[in-house]
Protein backbone atom coordinates (compact mmCIF):
# COMPACT_ATOMS: atom_id res chain seq x y z
CA UNK A 1 0.00 0.00 0.00
CA UNK A 2 1.70 3.22 -1.14
CA UNK A 3 -0.42 5.38 1.17
CA UNK A 4 -1.61 4.49 4.68
CA UNK A 5 -4.83 5.93 6.14
CA UNK A 6 -4.23 7.27 9.67
CA UNK A 7 -7.65 8.77 10.34
CA UNK A 8 -10.85 9.50 8.45
CA UNK A 9 -13.60 12.03 9.08
CA UNK A 10 -16.86 12.33 7.16
CA UNK A 11 -17.68 16.04 6.81
CA UNK A 12 -20.94 15.72 4.88
CA UNK A 13 -23.42 13.04 3.81
CA UNK A 14 -25.58 14.10 0.91
CA UNK A 15 -27.97 13.00 -1.76
CA UNK A 16 -25.38 12.43 -4.53
CA UNK A 17 -22.01 12.85 -2.83
CA UNK A 18 -20.39 12.56 0.62
CA UNK A 19 -17.23 14.40 1.60
CA UNK A 20 -14.49 12.73 3.64
CA UNK A 21 -11.16 14.07 4.91
CA UNK A 22 -8.43 11.50 5.51
CA UNK A 23 -5.10 11.98 7.23
CA UNK A 24 -2.60 9.70 5.48
CA UNK A 25 1.07 8.84 5.42
CA UNK A 26 3.17 8.78 2.23
CA UNK A 27 6.76 7.54 2.67
CA UNK A 28 6.65 8.43 6.37
CA UNK A 29 5.32 11.94 5.74
CA UNK A 30 1.80 13.11 6.68
CA UNK A 31 -0.65 14.13 3.95
CA UNK A 32 -4.27 15.31 3.92
CA UNK A 33 -6.66 13.84 1.33
CA UNK A 34 -10.06 15.26 0.49
CA UNK A 35 -12.20 12.49 -0.95
CA UNK A 36 -15.56 13.08 -2.64
CA UNK A 37 -17.49 9.84 -2.17
CA UNK A 38 -19.87 8.76 -4.94
CA UNK A 39 -21.56 5.39 -5.65
CA UNK A 40 -20.40 5.34 -9.30
CA UNK A 41 -22.36 5.59 -12.50
CA UNK A 42 -23.08 4.06 -15.87
CA UNK A 43 -23.01 5.64 -19.34
CA UNK A 44 -24.52 4.10 -22.47
CA UNK A 45 -23.73 4.49 -26.16
CA UNK A 46 -26.88 3.07 -27.77
CA UNK A 47 -27.24 2.62 -31.53
CA UNK A 48 -30.68 2.80 -33.16
CA UNK A 49 -31.59 0.81 -36.30
CA UNK A 50 -29.97 3.51 -38.49
CA UNK A 51 -26.66 3.46 -36.56
CA UNK A 52 -27.47 6.74 -34.90
CA UNK A 53 -26.49 7.23 -31.26
CA UNK A 54 -28.86 8.53 -28.56
CA UNK A 55 -27.70 11.72 -26.82
CA UNK A 56 -29.27 13.93 -24.19
CA UNK A 57 -28.99 17.70 -24.03
CA UNK A 58 -29.54 19.10 -20.55
CA UNK A 59 -28.70 22.00 -18.27
CA UNK A 60 -25.86 21.11 -15.88
CA UNK A 61 -26.26 23.34 -12.87
CA UNK A 62 -22.69 22.84 -11.54
CA UNK A 63 -21.36 24.00 -14.93
CA UNK A 64 -24.05 26.65 -15.50
CA UNK A 65 -24.45 25.56 -19.11
CA UNK A 66 -26.26 23.19 -21.46
CA UNK A 67 -24.31 20.03 -22.23
CA UNK A 68 -24.69 17.34 -24.89
CA UNK A 69 -23.89 13.93 -23.39
CA UNK A 70 -24.50 10.22 -23.74
CA UNK A 71 -27.29 8.93 -21.45
CA UNK A 72 -25.93 8.19 -17.98
CA UNK A 73 -26.95 7.82 -14.38
CA UNK A 74 -25.71 6.81 -10.97
CA UNK A 75 -25.89 3.41 -9.32
CA UNK A 76 -28.62 2.83 -6.79
CA UNK A 77 -27.55 1.11 -3.59
CA UNK A 78 -25.93 -2.30 -4.41
CA UNK A 79 -27.26 -2.22 -7.97
CA UNK A 80 -25.40 -4.17 -10.65
CA UNK A 81 -23.94 -1.68 -13.21
CA UNK A 82 -25.59 -3.46 -16.16
CA UNK A 83 -28.97 -3.15 -14.43
CA UNK A 84 -28.27 0.58 -13.89
CA UNK A 85 -27.46 0.88 -17.58
CA UNK A 86 -30.73 -0.79 -18.61
CA UNK A 87 -32.73 1.33 -16.16
CA UNK A 88 -31.10 4.63 -17.17
CA UNK A 89 -31.36 3.95 -20.91
CA UNK A 90 -35.07 3.31 -20.54
CA UNK A 91 -35.68 6.24 -18.16
CA UNK A 92 -33.86 8.77 -20.34
CA UNK A 93 -34.63 7.53 -23.87
CA UNK A 94 -37.67 5.27 -23.49
CA UNK A 95 -35.84 2.39 -25.19
CA UNK A 96 -34.73 -1.08 -24.13
CA UNK A 97 -31.71 -2.70 -25.79
CA UNK A 98 -31.26 -6.36 -26.72
CA UNK A 99 -27.43 -6.38 -27.00
CA UNK A 100 -25.07 -4.96 -24.37
CA UNK A 101 -21.28 -4.75 -24.50
CA UNK A 102 -19.12 -3.65 -21.57
CA UNK A 103 -16.53 -1.13 -22.79
CA UNK A 104 -14.50 -0.78 -19.60
CA UNK A 105 -14.30 1.52 -16.61
CA UNK A 106 -13.72 5.25 -16.76
CA UNK A 107 -12.38 7.42 -13.93
CA UNK A 108 -13.63 11.02 -14.38
CA UNK A 109 -11.10 12.61 -12.03
CA UNK A 110 -9.14 10.23 -9.84
CA UNK A 111 -7.26 12.83 -7.79
CA UNK A 112 -10.03 13.41 -5.24
CA UNK A 113 -13.16 11.71 -6.58
CA UNK A 114 -14.28 8.12 -5.93
CA UNK A 115 -16.64 8.06 -8.91
CA UNK A 116 -16.14 5.32 -11.47
CA UNK A 117 -18.23 5.07 -14.65
CA UNK A 118 -19.06 1.69 -16.20
CA UNK A 119 -19.25 2.20 -19.96
CA UNK A 120 -21.58 0.17 -22.18
CA UNK A 121 -22.48 0.03 -25.86
CA UNK A 122 -25.99 -1.18 -26.69
CA UNK A 123 -28.04 -2.05 -29.77
CA UNK A 124 -31.24 -3.82 -30.82
CA UNK A 125 -33.56 -1.15 -29.44
CA UNK A 126 -37.31 -1.33 -28.87
CA UNK A 127 -39.51 1.47 -27.51
CA UNK A 128 -41.12 0.94 -24.11
CA UNK A 129 -41.64 4.51 -22.77
CA UNK A 130 -39.55 7.31 -21.24
CA UNK A 131 -39.61 7.91 -17.46
CA UNK A 132 -37.54 10.88 -16.21
CA UNK A 133 -36.64 11.74 -12.60
CA UNK A 134 -38.69 14.63 -11.18
CA UNK A 135 -35.86 17.19 -11.35
CA UNK A 136 -34.62 15.95 -14.73
CA UNK A 137 -35.43 17.80 -17.93
CA UNK A 138 -33.67 16.79 -21.11
CA UNK A 139 -33.87 16.91 -24.86
CA UNK A 140 -33.36 13.61 -26.62
CA UNK A 141 -31.32 13.68 -29.85
CA UNK A 142 -29.71 11.20 -32.26
CA UNK A 143 -26.47 11.56 -34.20
CA UNK A 144 -24.26 9.33 -36.32
CA UNK A 145 -20.75 8.49 -35.00
CA UNK A 146 -19.34 10.81 -37.69
CA UNK A 147 -21.55 13.71 -36.58
CA UNK A 148 -20.49 13.12 -32.98
CA UNK A 149 -16.82 13.01 -34.06
CA UNK A 150 -17.22 16.36 -35.82
CA UNK A 151 -18.80 17.86 -32.68
CA UNK A 152 -15.88 16.55 -30.61
CA UNK A 153 -13.35 18.13 -32.97
CA UNK A 154 -15.18 21.50 -33.08
CA UNK A 155 -15.58 21.46 -29.26
CA UNK A 156 -19.39 21.34 -29.20
CA UNK A 157 -19.05 18.16 -27.12
CA UNK A 158 -16.92 18.72 -24.01
CA UNK A 159 -18.21 16.00 -21.67
CA UNK A 160 -15.36 13.62 -20.82
CA UNK A 161 -17.29 10.32 -20.84
CA UNK A 162 -18.98 11.24 -24.12
CA UNK A 163 -15.69 12.08 -25.88
CA UNK A 164 -13.96 8.98 -24.47
CA UNK A 165 -16.81 6.61 -25.37
CA UNK A 166 -17.58 7.97 -28.85
CA UNK A 167 -13.91 7.89 -29.89
CA UNK A 168 -13.32 4.47 -28.30
CA UNK A 169 -16.35 2.93 -30.02
CA UNK A 170 -15.38 4.61 -33.31
CA UNK A 171 -11.93 3.04 -33.00
CA UNK A 172 -13.35 -0.38 -32.09
CA UNK A 173 -15.65 -0.22 -35.13
CA UNK A 174 -12.65 0.70 -37.32
CA UNK A 175 -10.70 -2.29 -35.99
CA UNK A 176 -13.66 -4.68 -36.28
CA UNK A 177 -13.87 -5.07 -32.49
CA UNK A 178 -17.54 -4.16 -32.14
CA UNK A 179 -19.87 -7.20 -32.45
CA UNK A 180 -22.79 -5.07 -33.64
Q: Supply the residues annotated as catalytic.
A: 134
Binders of a second copy among residues 128 to 147 (CB under 8 A) are 134-135, 137
161 forms part of the interface with a second copy (CB under 8 A): yes
> Nearest CA to 118 among 83, 69, 158, 159?
83
User: 7 vs 50, which CB is nearer to a second copy?
Assistant: 7
Distance between CA atoms of residues 27 and 3, nearest Å: 8
9 forms part of the interface with a second copy (CB under 8 A): no
Over the window 76 to 115, marking each residue x when it contacts a second copy by CB under 8 A and - when it does not, the resulting string is ----------------------------xxxxxxxxxxxx
55 within 8 A of 159, measured Cβ to Cβ: no
Distance between CA atoms of residues 43 and 36, nearest Å: 20
For the chain, first and last CA: distance in Å?
41
Q: Which of 67, 101, 140, 178 binds a second copy (CB under 8 A)?
A: 67
Q: Which of 100, 168, 173, 178 binds a second copy (CB under 8 A)?
A: 168
User: 10 vs 131, which CB is nearer to a second copy?
Assistant: 10
Helix (H, G, I), strand (E, B) or coil at 130: coil
Helix (H, G, I), strand (E, B) or coil at 71: coil
Torsion sign across C-alpha atoms 45, 18, 135, 62 = negative
User: 12 vs 127, which CB is nearer to a second copy?
Assistant: 12
Residues contacting 91, CB < 8 A, separation 6+:
73, 130, 131, 132, 133
163 forms part of the interface with a second copy (CB under 8 A): yes
Site residues (CB under 8 A) for a second copy? 2-3, 11-12, 14-17, 19, 21-22, 24, 26-27, 29, 31-36, 59-63, 66-67, 69, 104-117, 134-135, 137, 149, 152-153, 155, 158-161, 163-164, 167-168, 171-172, 175, 177
Amino acid sequence: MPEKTLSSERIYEGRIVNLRIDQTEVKGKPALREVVEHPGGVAILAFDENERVFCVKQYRYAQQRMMLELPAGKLERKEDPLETGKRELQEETGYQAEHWLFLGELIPTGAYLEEKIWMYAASGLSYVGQHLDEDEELELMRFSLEELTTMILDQTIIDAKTIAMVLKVRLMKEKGLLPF
